């Protein structure tokens, strides 16, 4: 990929561009229906760090993201999102479903989101139309879509559309990026290539990233910490430090013995929680059946 350090768009990294920090303190959340989704959840994410959230199906992972995004409010405990000092756009989200606008080309989609960049006012600050065009081109090059600027989303493969979706979400240079199973619908080789792009982009831009996924290898390769969640109402079952550092080659990482060893530790915990989730579901069914 093209490194931002080679680009004129590179935001000036300084102590202020580190991304927002996020903390959950003993958080509990119930849906208005009464369904208890989260109970006693503690999480701590430093600015610029990437964490992965993995757990049994339906345990409450997406609910955690909606609390960070402020779409829902916890009834118990505190969700603290502390912006950095940069004044950057606070938060962007990428979902599993396509969020690319189908009536705009790749370049127009990226330009639209770039225009959301907080405090940019770049035309007003005297940046010429040509310079902005150059920045848009550079952003597109970051995800290897040169030559597809004028293509519409329907003319792209699933993997390419995902690249555009991720690119639009980082074009506004957010402090936080929330990813909700964003790559699950794409084939494995494309997925690993996109992991590399996203990993490099969020590192370079200093974006705090929270990734919800069912793919343990994805979490282990892209994150600094992985949290394995327990059954609903969910809380953290175990937290794992990922030791692979800021320079990672996604293609070869999966072949390494230390990666496979970590993967098997993660899997062991996830397996336990999947079993626990089945047990608590059958207990719930029994309790409901006895009424």
Residue numbers at the binding site for ligand ATP (CB under 6 A): 31, 33, 35, 37, 55, 57-63, 232
Q: Compare residues 29 and 148 and give the one whose CB is closer to ligand ATP.
A: 29
Mind giving me the DSSP string for 199-244? HHHHHHHT-EEEEE-S-HHHHHHH-SEEEEE-SSSB-EEEEEE-TT
Tell the smallest beta-carbon distance from residue 41 to ligand ATP (Å).
Answer: 12
Bridge partners of residue 196, in order along the sequence? none
Tell the smallest beta-carbon distance from residue 250 to ligand ATP (Å).
Answer: 23
3-state helix, strand, coil in the chain (%, to 5): 40, 20, 40
Tell the smallest beta-carbon distance from residue 56 to ligand ATP (Å).
Answer: 7
Q: Which tokens hold the place of 175? A: 């402090």
Q: Compare residues 47 and 231 and give the one whose CB is closer to ligand ATP.
A: 231
Q: Compare residues 95 and 263 and give the one whose CB is closer to ligand ATP.
A: 95
86/47 Cα distance (integer angstroms): 12
| Of 262, 233, 245, residue with least CA distance to 49 | 245
Tell the smallest beta-carbon distance from residue 227 to ligand ATP (Å).
Answer: 12
Q: Compare residues 47 and 60 and give the one whose CB is closer to ligand ATP.
A: 60
Tell the smallest beta-carbon distance from residue 65 to ligand ATP (Å).
Answer: 8
For residues 52 and 218, the answer to whether their CB atoms sit within 8 Å is yes
Q: Compare residues 107 and 218 and give the one whose CB is closer to ligand ATP.
A: 218
């Amino acid at each position: 990929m093209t490194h931002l350090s080679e680009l004129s768009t590179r935001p000036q990294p300084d102590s202020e561009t580190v991304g927002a920090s996020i903390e959950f303190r003993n958080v509990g959340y119930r849906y208005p229906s009464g369904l208890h989704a989260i109970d006693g959840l503690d999480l701590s994410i430093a600015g610029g760090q990437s964490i992965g959230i993995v757990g049994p199906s339906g345990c409450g992972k997406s609910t955690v993201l909606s609390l960070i995004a402020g779409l829902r409010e916890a009834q118990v405990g505190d969700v603290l999102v502390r912006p950095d000092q940069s004044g950057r756009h606070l938060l962007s989200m990428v979902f599993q479903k396509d969020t690319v606008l189908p009536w705009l080309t790749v370049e127009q989609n990226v330009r639209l989101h770039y225009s959301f960049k907080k405090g940019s006012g770049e035309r007003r600050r005297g940046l010429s139309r040509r310079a902005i065009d150059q920045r848009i081109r550079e952003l597109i090059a970051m995800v290897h879509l040169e030559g597809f600027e004028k293509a519409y989303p329907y003319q792209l493969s699933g993997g390419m559309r995902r690249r555009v979706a991720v690119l639009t979400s980082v074009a506004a240079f957010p402090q936080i990026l929330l990813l909700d199973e964003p790559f699950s619908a794409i084939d494995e080789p494309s997925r690993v290539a996109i992991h590399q792009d996203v990993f490099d982009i969020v590192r370079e831009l200093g974006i705090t990233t929270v990734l919800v996924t069912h793919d343990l290898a994805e979490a282990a390769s892209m994150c600094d910490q992985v949290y394995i969640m327990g059954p609903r109402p969910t809380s953290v079952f175990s937290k794992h430090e990922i030791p692979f550092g800021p320079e990672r080659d996604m293609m070869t990482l999966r072949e390494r013995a230390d990666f496979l060893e970590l993967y098997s530790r993660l899997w062991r915990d996830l397996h336990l929680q999947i079993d626990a989730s089945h047990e608590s579901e059958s207990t719930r069914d029994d309790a409901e059946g006895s009424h």
